[in-house]
């Protein structure tokens, strides 16, 4: 009885917290991703223009901010400076189809041209260099949709020339510091190979072979003299470490490692190409420095800005930096750092209006799974609540990915509406070494799901969560996990929200993008073989247990999703309706694998909070015409 009274008091206290408008969490940030030009004279950033996210440019020290792109459909998310400091480059697809093209914009004329105009092809940037400011190397599946060749782009004329042809098994290409393709990572059956060559005309040799039992890795760069390759590998260790291999002798040395955590990032000098620091993402991201001057600057910035700092971009002379600071309850803020004079000036806050609200902190947690494996994750409690909260188990996608500490608009929305948010790095997640990764092999809907059930049991036992008000939600694999939760264990969860989740592993694997074909061996190992284990895959597919669903379900889908086709959602919705099971189904015609348009995020999460309020009892911002999801119900 005492626990009930305390819970009621906590809920009442939480209800007094101001309701954060959805627009502040899911609308476009006012300004984001500021990036300094190579010459250190200008800053480019993302901000709304004519209702869509576009690239803006300003001269440092002047108030001459102007939009230079005019994307009217999807908004721009990925951009960077060309080395001439006169152009920006950005990537964009069409309606979420993930066939990205590389576009170039002149900052004076504001004219934009497509540098990789092949229809239906997907392009990616491999390298640019201050040594060759008018050149760029791109990968593109123009010749064969399954394979990515390398092209050299003349950035002055737009001429596109084939540089290296894919022999049929290359997944990734790496250029050296002279913009020559000198390394490649391949999938040769069940073996991953890292290959190198002495120069652009020399034959390839195998530098490293590893089985699929190793963590994902490969060649990530070259030493400043181009005589050694930097390799991420877990061979000879549990977790992925950074090693340096001398190409002439194959002599190898370990640069950085942790016995339990994979290497997660690196800082390299913008022109000298020296390795200055690496990071490991433990409970939070931690840096190991090799450059003492950089470490001193980092510590100075930390003393001024607090936790959560990162070096966003640097001018080529390394005298000017853009610094970002962000933590779970602190959305990104950006600063200009005059390195020589140790002068720090505030630039922008991505979401300044959120300063009027108190945001929830994210707490790293861990618990033992039923077989003794330690599972790590994060718990976010509503402001003013410490016990017995209605809870959303928010499952990350991938599944070969992980949740990390940091700001999340979705987590803050859920916490503000009165829910505890539990994020779990279940077995098979990356970042925790190969033993943990391999523990997820062929465990979809089995031990990977048990880890989620154990998370629920742990949260309830600790008193954080109300077992009778416990939802499951996620995107991609997290959407699949949601469907598994409501079909395989229909009494465990109060309701579920599935975003672009596959319902049938068989049809999922039969409809993967063509350029995933070289990775099929990995799917055979980690999920199951389509050729040899179709019955097994069907047994792990929620579609065939749809008649067991007893709890409310909301599904969101992008019509152009190339990874999880709309048919994956269509078929389970049909099965549910054939079995007279209620389901709410929202489809956005201009979206892919997830929702990139802010207006669709606002609509879907308006539907989500209304759905959760109905079934978990939390709060919801009143519906608005601008965020109305009903026209998209299918």
Instruction: Show which residues are catalytic.
Output: 476, 561, 593
User: Biggest alpha carbon distance in the chain?
Assistant: 78
Q: How far apart are CA 366 and CA 432, in angstroms?
A: 13
Q: How far apart are CA 31 and CA 11, in angstroms?
A: 35
Sheet of 228-233, strand order: 218-222, 228-233, 241-246, 252-256
Closest CA to 69 of 89, 84, 83, 85: 89
Kindly tell me the sign of the dihedral angle through the C-alpha atoms of 565, 570, 573, 579.
negative
Closest CA to 544 of 554, 552, 534: 534
Q: Which helix (H) or strand (E) holds 553?
A: strand 553-558
Angstrom CA distances, 566 to 314, 559, 571, 582, 588, stand at: 41, 6, 9, 19, 10
CA trace torsion 34, 40, 41, 46 (10° rounding): -10
Q: How far apart are CA 274 and CA 460, in angstroms?
A: 49
Closest CA to 152 of 136, 166, 165: 136
Q: How far apart are CA 575 and CA 579, in angstroms?
A: 6
Q: Which helix (H) or strand (E) holds 254?
A: strand 252-256
């Amino acid at each position: 009885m005492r626990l009930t009274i305390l819970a009621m008091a906590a809920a009442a206290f939480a209800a007094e917290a101001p309701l954060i408008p959805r627009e502040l969490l899911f609308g476009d940030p006012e300004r984001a991703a500021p990036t300094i030009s190579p010459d250190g004279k200008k800053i480019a950033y993302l901000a709304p223009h004519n209702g869509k996210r576009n690239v803006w440019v300003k001269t440092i020290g002047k108030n001459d901010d102007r939009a230079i792109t005019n994307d009217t459909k999807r908004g721009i998310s990925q951009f960077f400076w060309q080395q001439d400091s006169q152009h920006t480059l950005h990537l964009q697809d069409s309606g979420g189809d993930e066939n990205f093209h590389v576009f170039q914009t002149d900052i004076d004329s504001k004219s934009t041209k497509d540098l990789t105009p092949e229809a239906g092809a997907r392009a990616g940037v491999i390298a640019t260099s201050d040594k060759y400011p008018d050149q760029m190397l791109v990968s593109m599946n123009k010749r064969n949709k399954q394979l990515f060749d390398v092209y050299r782009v003349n950035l002055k004329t737009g001429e596109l020339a084939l540089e290296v042809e894919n022999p049929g098994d290359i997944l990734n290409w790496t250029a050296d510091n002279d913009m020559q393709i000198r390394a490649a990572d391949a999938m040769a059956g069940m073996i991953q190979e890292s290959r190198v060559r002495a120069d652009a005309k020399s034959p390839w040799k195998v530098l490293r072979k590893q089985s699929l039992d190793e963590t994902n890795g490969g060649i990530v760069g070259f030493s400043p003299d181009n005589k050694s390759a930097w390799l991420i590998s877990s061979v000879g260790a549990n977790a992925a470490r950074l090693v340096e291999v001398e190409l002439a002798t194959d002599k190898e040395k370990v640069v950085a490692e942790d016995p339990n955590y994979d290497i997660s990032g690196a800082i390299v000098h913008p022109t000298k190409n020296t390795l200055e620091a690496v990071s490991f993402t433990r409970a939070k991201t931690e840096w190991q420095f090799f450059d003492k001057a950089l470490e001193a600057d980092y510590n100075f910035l930390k003393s001024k800005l607090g936790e959560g700092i990162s070096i966003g971009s640097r001018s080529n002379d390394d005298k000017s930096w853009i610094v970002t600071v962000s933590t779970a309850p602190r959305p990104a803020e950006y600063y200009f750092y005059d390195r020589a004079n140790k002068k720090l000036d505030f630039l922008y806050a991505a979401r300044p209006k959120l300063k009027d609200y108190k945001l929830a902190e994210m707490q790293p947690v861990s618990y033992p799974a039923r077989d003794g494996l330690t599972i790590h994750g994060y718990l976010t409690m509503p402001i003013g609540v410490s016990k017995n909260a209605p809870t959303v188990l928010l499952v990350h996608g991938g599944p070969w990915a992980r949740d990390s500490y940091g700001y999340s608009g979705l987590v803050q929305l859920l916490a503000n509406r009165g829910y505890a948010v539990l994020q779990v790095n279940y077995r098979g997640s990356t970042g925790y070494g190969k033993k943990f990764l391999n523990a997820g092999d062929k465990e979809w809907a089995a031990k990977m799901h048990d880890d989620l059930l154990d998370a629920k049991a742990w949260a309830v036992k600790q008193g954080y969560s109300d077992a009778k008000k416990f939802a499951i939600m996620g995107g991609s694999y997290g959407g699949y996990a949601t469907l598994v939760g409501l079909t395989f264990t229909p009494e465990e969860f109060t309701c579920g929200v599935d975003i672009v989740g596959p319902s049938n592993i068989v049809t999922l694997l039969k409809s993967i993008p063509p350029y995933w074909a070289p990775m099929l061996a990995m799917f055979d190992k980690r999920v199951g073989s389509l050729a040899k284990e179709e019955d097994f895959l069907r047994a792990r597919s929620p579609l065939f247990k749809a008649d067991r669903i007893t709890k409310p379900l909301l599904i969101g889908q992008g019509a152009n999703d190339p990874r999880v086709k709309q048919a994956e959602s269509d078929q389970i919705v049909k099965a549910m309706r054939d079995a007279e099971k209620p389901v709410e189904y929202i489809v956005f015609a201009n979206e892919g694998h997830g929702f990139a348009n802010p207006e669709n995020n606002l609509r879907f999460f308006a539907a989500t909070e209304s759905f959760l309020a109905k079934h978990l009892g939390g709060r919801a911002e009143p519906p608005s015409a601008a965020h109305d999801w009903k026209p998209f119900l299918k």
